C-alpha cells in the first residue's frame, strides 16, 4: 500500500510542479488568476495525468519526457469541473477542499476560465509535442482521441441534464456515466498507449479497461456523494439528490450500486489481463480510485 502511495506522490509532485508554472499571472489578468486558482490545487488526485504516465512507464519508455504533455490533461479536467460546479449545472460551492471557482471569482469569470482552459489544453499539448519532437502522426492521433472524448463528456453532461428528475433505467445511467466520466479516463489510457507505440489490439484492451475503470470510478463517486464526508472529499455530499440527478445509488440503492461497482472492477480486471505491458500499477490505481476511497467509510 505504501508503495502505491509513494508511486502516486512521486508522479503527482512532478505534475503539480509542471502545472504550477503554467500561467503568466504577472499581467494582472483575473482570468489567469482564476485559471491558476483552480488548476493548482494540492487536493487534486491528478489521476488522469498519472494514468497516461503509468501506461508510458509500464511500456518501458522514459515517462519523464512526457510530464508536460500528460499534465496538460489536467487543464481539461479542471475546465470540466469549473463548468460542472456552476449554479446552472450542479451548483457546487466547494471543489477540492476550497471554494469552487465561481464562489471565489464570479459566474461569468468561471465560464470564461473554463473556455480558456479548454483551449489552453490543446495549445499546450501541441507546444509540448513540438518540444519533444513527437511524430506528426502521433500528435494527430492523440489530439483526435482527446477531442472525441471531450465531445463525449459534453454529450454526457447534456444527457444527465435531460434526465434530471425523470424516470431512468440502470442501462441509461451507465450510458451517462460512460459518456461524462469514463470516456475521459479511457482517452488518457489510450493516449499513453499511442505514445508508447502499442498495437491496435493492446490499445483496444486499454480502451476497454478505461471504460470499465471510469464506470467503477463514477459509481464510487456517486456512492460517496451519499455517504461521504466533506472533510475527506473536499466537496459537499448530497449534491446529486439536491439536483435530482439520476445516479445508481440514488435511484436503485447503495446495495445495487455496490454490486454494479464490483461488476465493473471485475470487467476492468479482465481487460487488464489481456494487456502484455506491465499492469500491476494500473490494477493498483483502479483499486485506489474505487474500493480504497469507499473503505474510508466502512
Ligand atoms: C462531473 O461529474 C463530470 C464532469 C465534470 C464531466 P459529477 O458532477 O458527478 O462530479 P462531482 O461530484 O461534481 O465531482
Ligand atoms: Mg455533474
Ligand atoms: Mg458535480
Residue 180 clears pLDDT 60, i.e. is over it = yes
Mean pLDDT value across residues 279-285: 97
Name residues contacting ligand 1 (CB within 6 A). 80-81, 84, 90, 92, 153, 157, 180-181, 221, 225, 235
Q: What are the tens digits of pLDDT across the range 197-211? A: 999 999 999 999 999
Residue 23 clears pLDDT 90, i.e. is over it = no
What is the whole-number distance in angstroms between the Cα of residue 110 and the centre of ligand 1? 16
Q: What are the tens digits of pLDDT across the range 111-128? A: 999 999 999 999 999 999
Handedness of CA 262, 267, 270, 271 (dihedral sign): negative
Q: Under a CB-based contact definition with an 8 Å cutoff, are residues 178 and 214 in contact?
A: yes
Q: Under a CB-based contact definition with an 8 Å cutoff, are residues 206 and 193 in contact?
A: yes
Mean pLDDT value across residues 155-179: 96
Residue 26: which pLDDT band, with cuts at 50, 70 and 90?
low
Nearest CA to ligand 1 atom 7: 84
Q: Under a CB-based contact definition with an 8 Å cutoff, are residues 207 and 217 in contact?
A: no
Residue 212 clears pLDDT 90, i.e. is over it = yes
Mean pLDDT value across residues 9-33: 87
Residue 25 clears pLDDT 80, i.e. is over it = no
What is the whole-number distance in angstroms between the Cα of residue 200 and the centre of ligand 3? 34
Mean pLDDT value across residues 260-281: 97
Note the pLDDT of residue 153. 98
What is the whole-number distance in angstroms between the Cα of residue 268 and the centre of ligand 1? 21
pTM exceeds 0.85, yes or no: yes
Residue 88 clears pLDDT 60, i.e. is over it = yes
Note the pLDDT of residue 195. 98
Question: Which residues, in sequence order, are CB contacts of 116 under 8 Å at separation 6+?
Answer: 31, 35, 79
Q: Under a CB-based contact definition with an 8 Å cutoff, are residues 68 and 128 in contact?
A: yes
Amino acid at each position: 500500500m505504501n508503495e502505491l502511495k509513494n508511486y502516486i506522490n512521486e508522479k503527482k509532485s512532478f505534475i503539480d510542479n509542471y502545472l504550477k508554472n503554467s500561467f503568466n499571472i504577472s499581467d494582472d489578468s483575473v482570468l489567469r488568476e482564476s485559471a491558476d486558482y483552480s488548476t493548482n490545487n494540492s487536493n487534486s488526485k491528478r489521476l488522469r495525468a498519472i494514468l497516461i504516465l503509468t501506461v508510458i512507464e509500464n511500456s518501458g519508455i522514459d515517462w519523464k519526457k512526457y510530464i508536460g504533455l500528460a499534465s496538460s490533461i489536467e487543464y481539461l479536467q479542471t475546465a470540466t469541473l469549473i463548468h460542472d460546479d456552476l449554479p446552472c449545472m450542479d451548483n457546487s460551492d466547494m471543489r477540492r477542499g476550497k471554494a469552487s471557482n465561481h464562489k471565489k471569482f464570479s459566474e461569468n469569470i468561471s465560464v470564461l476560465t473554463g473556455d480558456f482552459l479548454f483551449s489552453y489544453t490543446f495549445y499546450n499539448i501541441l507546444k509540448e509535442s513540438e518540444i519533444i519532437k513527437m511524430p506528426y502522426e502521433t500528435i494527430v492521433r492523440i489530439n483526435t482521441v482527446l477531442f472525441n472524448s471531450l465531445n463525449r463528456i459534453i454529450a454526457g453532461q447534456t444527457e444527465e441534464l435531460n434526465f434530471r428528475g425523470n424516470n431512468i433505467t440502470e442501462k441509461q445511467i451507465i450510458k451517462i456515466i460512460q459518456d461524462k466520466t469514463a470516456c475521459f479516463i479511457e482517452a488518457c489510457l489510450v493516449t499513453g498507449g499511442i505514445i508508447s507505440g502499442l498495437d491496435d489490439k493492446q490499445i483496444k484492451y486499454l480502451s476497454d479497461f478505461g471504460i470499465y475503470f471510469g464506470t467503477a470510478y463514477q459509481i464510487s463517486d456517486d456512492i460517496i456523494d451519499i455517504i461521504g464526508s466533506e472533510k475527506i472529499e473536499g466537496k459537499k455530499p448530497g449534491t446529486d439528490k439536491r439536483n435530482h440527478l439520476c445516479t445508481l445509488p440514488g435511484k436503485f440503492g447503495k446495495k445495487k450500486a455496490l454490486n454494479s461497482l464490483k461488476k465493473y472492477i471485475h470487467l476492468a480486471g479482465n481487460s487488464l489481463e489481456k494487456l502484455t505491458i506491465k499492469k500491476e500499477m494500473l490494477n493498483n490505481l483502479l483499486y485506489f480510485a474505487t474500493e480504497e476511497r469507499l473503505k474510508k467509510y466502512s
